[in-house]
Amino acid sequence: MTKFKSSLVWLAGLSLVIQIAVAALPFSWFGNDGQMPSLAPMLEQSKPAVVNIATRSQVRVQDNPLLNDPFFRHFFNLPEQQPRQRASQSLGSGVIFDAKKGLVLTNNHVIQKADEITVSLTDGRSFQAEFVGSDPATDVALIKIPAEQLTALPLADSDNLRVGDFVVAIGNPFGLGQTVTSGIVSALGRSGLGIEGYENFIQTDASINPGNSGGALVNLRGELVGINTAIFSPGQQAGNIGIGFAIPSNMVKQITDQLIEYGEVRRAHLGVQMQDITQELAQAFDIQSEQGAVVTRISAGSAAEEAGLKIGDIITAVDGNKLINADNLRNTIGLLMVGQTIKINIIRDGKQKTLKATVKESEEHTQTGQVHPKLAGATFGDIEPGTPHYGRINGVMIYSVKRGSPAANAGLRANDIITSVNKQAVSSLDEFKPFAYSDGESLLLNITRNGQAMFLILR
């Protein structure tokens, strides 16, 4: 009996703590009857800022790769193949980012191939959207609608998120219409998943399903903490199993600032190759922590060289933000504005030092000269350490493809790996350049995309 009474006292105390905590929230936690706790008041303010996105596009039907091989067609005397196309539709979600300008955030993969983008609001209005810019490497895109009286979600500081914080996902799963699910933050800083080029995901168990992409992940204040992007689905399972990923709002803000100013992301590079600190390396360098990244290579003329970095330096922090590993450094640098000056904390010969570096745009990713007409609009580079493909495949990586460019129309996509050109293997940018400047002759590309190999002919 005493144990039962103790349990009642404990439950009563917990109830009082919850009531005191929720009373501090900036919205009414309770429903209209004043009794039942509810997220409805917060959602009534947040839901109008989340939109449904429908796209239409003409997709080229992929023929057997052999039919695109000019040598194969010539040998069997086959006629010239005319490209076949079919209409394609897709559904996703978006978040109103700037109500006055009509700017809407979504995922790049939601709208990347779209010829027509329709945005539907919760009040029943629909608008044709204008493309503003996108960054395939982080899967962030920005579109614009000619609408008034919009509601935008305020941005939260995602650096303040903690594992265990309550979050709510709002989106358009399976095309059902706006749907709300709730859960908690399961993990932070997820990377190395091979989903995007730059990864720093929020992991959540709030149900995220196909169609939720581009939708909002909000905290209990109704602030945007992330853009829902991907789910983990083993095997052929297509639904949610409690592991979803969202792009943090701070990363989204950094990308969006550049999309608004330039229409694209001018990605900064430090000019180093890095390696994670292991227990063995920590002992070899006589340091206590296994966090950070050790410099293994420095590019000539790079920001790292100009800053005075040396091979063997251990980078522990950038602008006061501690680094966990090499991926963490790559993400941090890749999200900076070109020309930005940063402070780099290092350990050299057991002593701590601080260097200043002004990051540059990578020259190896910037095209110069007259490239093959069908390659215009794409940027190429060597496969960098820290990317999911590094050490697993030899080739040249396509880092970005401008929407509507000749490269995009030819079927090239960001994150494609070109492994051969005209049946000749290419393993570096230097080996690829003679073909890239081939003055318009046909190119037969062997491409690896999402783990699948295919041929693509450019003429």
Phi-psi region of 10 (alpha: psi -120 to 50; beta: other; left: phi over 0): alpha
Does pLDDT of 294 surpass 50?
Answer: yes
How far is residue 436's CA from residue 423's CA, in Å, rounded to a whole number? 14
Residue 333 lies in a domain: yes
- Say what the pLDDT of residue 16 is: 47
| Burial (0-12, 13-18, 19+ Cβ within 10 Å), 117 | buried
Q: What CATH number is given to the structural domain containing 219?
A: 2.40.10.10
136 and 169 in a single domain? The answer is no
Chain segment 379-399, per-residue pLDDT in tens: 888 887 666 677 788 888 887
Task: Identify the domain containing residue 410 by its residue range.
Answer: 367-458
The domain that holds 275 is classified in CATH as: 2.30.42.10
Gap between the terminal Cα atoms of the chain: 85
Question: Does some domain include residue 426?
Answer: yes
Indicate the residue among 100, 117, 144 that finishes a domain.
144
One domain, residues 435 and 391: yes
Structure tokens at 352: 């701590």
Q: Which of 144, 171, 191 is the last residue of a domain?
A: 144
Angle made by CA atoms 337, 343, 344, in degrees to the nearest 5: 105
Of 240, 262, 284, the last residue of a domain is 262
Do 119 and 206 sit in the same domain of this protein? Answer: no
Same domain? 227 vs 323: no
Same domain membership, residue 305 and residue 355: yes
DSSP 48: G
In a domain, residue 164? The reply is yes
pTM beyond 0.75: the answer is: no
| Within-domain flag for 153 | no
Q: Is the same domain home to 409 and 345?
A: no
Distance CA 317, CA 253 (A): 21
Residue 189 is assigned to a structural domain of this protein: yes
Note whether 292 and 348 are within 8 A (CB): no
Q: Which amino acid is at 169?
A: A
In this structure, are residues 298 and 292 in contact, taking their beta carbons and an 8 Å threshold? no
Claim to verify: residue 254 and residue 283 sit in the same structural domain: no
The neighbouring-strand residues paired with 455 are 446
Alpha carbon distance 386, 193 (integer Å): 11
Does position 4 have pLDDT exceeding 50, yes or no? no
Place of tokens 């009040």: 123
- For residue 28, tell me if it sits in a domain: no
Please indicate, yes or no, whether residues 163 and 254 belong to a single structural domain of this protein: yes
**Same-domain check for residues 356 and 372:** no
Task: Please tell me the total count of domains within the chain.
Answer: 4
Identity of residue 172: N
Question: What whole-number distance in Å separates Cα of residue 265 and Cα of residue 275?
Answer: 26
Q: Is 309 exposed, middle or buried (0-12, 13-18, 19+ CB in 10 A)?
A: buried
381 - beta bridge partners? 397
Nearest-angstrom CA–CA distance, 358 and 307: 8
- Cα–Cα distance for residue pair 191/332, rounded to 1 Å: 12
pLDDT of the residue at 10 = 47
Give the model confidence (pLDDT) of 17-29 as tens digits. 444 444 445 555 5
- Would residue 253 count as lying in a domain? yes
Q: Which of 14-18, 47-51, 210-214 has the lowest mean pLDDT?
A: 14-18
Q: Same domain, yes or no, for 53 and 107?
A: yes
pLDDT digit string (tens) for 103-132?
999 999 898 878 889 999 998 899 999 999
349 in a structural domain: yes
Question: Do 337 and 319 form a contact (C-beta atoms < 8 A)?
Answer: no
Element (H, E) at 423: none
Q: Are residues 357 and 424 in the same domain?
A: no
* Residues 218 and 309 occupy one common structural domain: no
Distance CA 268, CA 249 (A): 20
Which amino acids are annotated catalytic?
109, 139, 213
